[in-house]
Structure 1
Amino acid sequence: MKKDPMRYGGRPASAVPPDLWRPTDVDDLEPAAWAALKFPGSAAVSAGPGAGKTEFLAQRAAYLLQTGTCQRPRRILAISYKRDSASNLARRVAARVPDEAHRFVSITFDAFTKGLVDRFSQSLPGPWRFDDYEIEFPKDKEIRSFLTTLAWDASGPMRSELFALHEGRFLSDIVGAWSLPTDPGSPPATAAEFAAWSWWNAQYLRPPKPEVDFTMLNRLADLIVRTNPGLQRALRATYPFVFIDEFQDTTSAQITFLKTTFGHPGVVTTAVGDNKQRIMRFAGALEDAMARYRSDFNAKQFNLGWNFRSSPDLVAVQHHVATQLEPAIVQAISKANVEVGHVPLTIWTYNDERRQAQHIADWVAQDISTANRAASDFAIVARQKVADLEPLLAKELARHGIALRNDDTYYGKLRLQDVLKHDIARLVLGVLRLSAQDRGLPTIWTDTHALISRIRGDGHDAHSSRRASDHLAAFTAHLRGALKQHSVATTDPRELVNLAASIVDTDELEGFARSQHAGDEAEVVLSALAHRLGAVMAGETNWGRVFSAVSAEDAVTLMTIHRSKGLEYHTVIVLGLDDRQWWSYRKDVREAISTFFVGLSRAAHRLIFTCATSRARNGGIGELYRLLDVAGADEKHWT
Structure 2
Amino acid sequence: MDNAFDEFTEDFNAVRHALLRNWRSHEALVAVQHVIAQQIDPDVEEVEARGHLAVEGDTAAIWRFDSREQEAEQIARWIRSEVDEGRIAPHDVAILVRMRANNVEDELAPVFRDNGLTLRNLARNVGEIAIQDLLAEPLTEVLLPLLRLGAGGRDPVAWNATQERLQTLTGTNSEDEVGQERVQREIGEFSRNLRQSMRDEPPDLVVADRLFTQALDFAGVQRLRQAYPEYRRDADFQRVRDGFQILLRECVENAADWRGVLDHFEGKDQVPLMTIHKSKGLEFHTMIFFGLDAQTWWSLSPDRGEELNSFFVAFTRAMQRAFFAYCSERGNAVDWLEQLLLPAGVEQIDGANIVADR
Note whether the superposition's TM-score is higher than 0.5: yes
Query: Which amino acid counterpart does residue 418 of structure 1 have in structure 2?
Result: D
Counterpart of 1:179?
none
Query: Which amino acid counterpart does residue 320 of structure 2 have in structure 1?
Result: H
Instruction: Say whether 1:459 aligns with 2:170.
Output: no
Instruction: Say whether 1:373 aligns with 2:88.
Output: yes
Counterpart of 1:73?
none
How far apart are the structure 2 equivalents of 1:412 and 1:344?
A: 38
Q: Which moved more, 1:590-599 or 1:479-488?
A: 479-488
1:386-535 maps to which residues of 2 (within 5 A)?
386-439=101-154, 441-460=155-174, 461-489=176-204, 491=206, 493-514=208-229, 521-535=236-250
Instruction: Say whether 1:637 aligns with 2:350.
Output: yes
Compute the displacement of 1:587 (Å).
10
Query: Which amino acid counterpart does residue 40 of structure 2 have in structure 1?
Result: L
1:118-137 maps to which residues of 2 (within 5 A)?
none
How far apart are the structure 1 equivalents of 2:117 and 2:187?
A: 33
Counterpart of 1:592?
307
Query: Which amino acid counterpart does residue 321 of structure 2 have in structure 1?
Result: R
Q: Is the 8 A contact 1:349 1:614 kept in 2?
A: no
- Determine helix, strand or coil for the equivalent of 1:356: helix
**Deviation readout 1:376-433 (Å, 9 max, x if unpaired):** 2211111111111113433333334333222111111111111111121122121112
Q: Is the 8 A contact 2:230 2:236 kept in 1?
A: no
Instruction: Say whether 1:552 aligns with 2:247.
Output: no
Task: Specify which of 340, 351, 354 is matched with residue 627 of structure 1.
Answer: 340
- Determine helix, strand or coil for the equivalent of 1:302: coil
How far apart are the structure 2 equivalents of 1:314 and 1:614?
A: 29
- Determine helix, strand or coil for the equivalent of 2:96: strand
Shift in CA distance, 367/587, structure 1 to aligned 2, threshold 3 Å: closer
1:248-263 maps to which residues of 2 (within 5 A)?
none
Q: Is the 8 A contact 1:493 1:531 kept in 2?
A: no
How far apart are the structure 2 equivalents of 1:356 and 1:362?
A: 10
Instruction: Say whether 1:605 aligns with 2:320.
Output: yes
Task: Specify which of 264, 277, 282 is matched with residue 567 of structure 1.
Answer: 282
Query: Which amino acid counterpart does residue 571 of structure 1 have in structure 2?
Result: T
- Determine helix, strand or coil for the equivalent of 1:301: coil
**Deviation readout 1:531-577 (Å, 9 max, x if unpaired):** 10111112334222112211123322111101101211111100111
How far apart are the structure 2 equivalents of 1:625 and 1:557?
A: 26
How far apart are the structure 2 equivalents of 1:307 and 1:349?
A: 29
Shift in CA distance, 517/355, structure 1 to aligned 2, threshold 3 Å: farther
How far apart are the structure 2 equivalents of 1:600 and 1:504?
A: 38
- Higher relative contact order, structure no. (Cα contacts within 8 Å, ≥ 6 residues apart): 2
How far apart are the structure 2 equivalents of 1:528 and 1:615?
A: 35
Q: Is the 8 A contact 2:294 2:331 kept in 1?
A: yes
How far apart are the structure 1 equivalents of 2:233 and 2:75?
A: 39
**Deviation readout 1:579-631 (Å, 9 max, x if unpaired):** 3321334695222221221222111221100012268446xx42122222222
- Determine helix, strand or coil for the equivalent of 1:491: helix
How far apart are the structure 1 equivalents of 2:295 and 2:162?
A: 43
Shift in CA distance, 480/503, structure 1 to aligned 2, threshold 3 Å: same
Compute the displacement of 1:516 (Å).
6.9
Compute the displacement of 1:291 (Å).
1.1
How far apart are the structure 2 equivalents of 1:492 and 1:632?
A: 54
Calculate the TM-score normalised by the size of structure 1. 0.52
Query: Which amino acid counterpart does residue 291 of structure 1 have in structure 2?
Result: D
Shift in CA distance, 586/334, structure 1 to aligned 2, threshold 3 Å: closer
- Determine helix, strand or coil for the equivalent of 1:304: coil
Compute the displacement of 1:340 (Å).
5.0
Shift in CA distance, 520/543, structure 1 to aligned 2, threshold 3 Å: same
1:120-199 maps to which residues of 2 (within 5 A)?
none
Shift in CA distance, 532/595, structure 1 to aligned 2, threshold 3 Å: same
Counterpart of 2:356?
none
Compute the displacement of 1:375 (Å).
1.8
Compute the displacement of 1:514 (Å).
2.6
Q: Is the 8 A contact 1:357 1:396 kept in 2?
A: yes
How far apart are the structure 2 equivalents of 1:309 and 1:485?
A: 43
**Deviation readout 1:212-245 (Å, 9 max, x if unpaired):** xxxxxxxxxxxxxxxxxxxxxxxxxxxxxxxxxx
Q: Name the larger-Rg structure.
A: 1
Q: Which moved more, 1:511-520 or 1:608-617?
A: 511-520
- RMSD of the alignment, in Å? 2.2
1:197-276 maps to which residues of 2 (within 5 A)?
none
Shift in CA distance, 411/613, structure 1 to aligned 2, threshold 3 Å: same
Q: Is the 8 A contact 1:617 1:625 kept in 2?
A: no
How far apart are the structure 1 equivalents of 2:72 and 2:336?
A: 25
How many residues in Structure 1 have an aligned counterpart in Structure 2?
A: 351
How far apart are the structure 1 equivalents of 2:114 and 2:149?
A: 31
Shift in CA distance, 290/411, structure 1 to aligned 2, threshold 3 Å: same
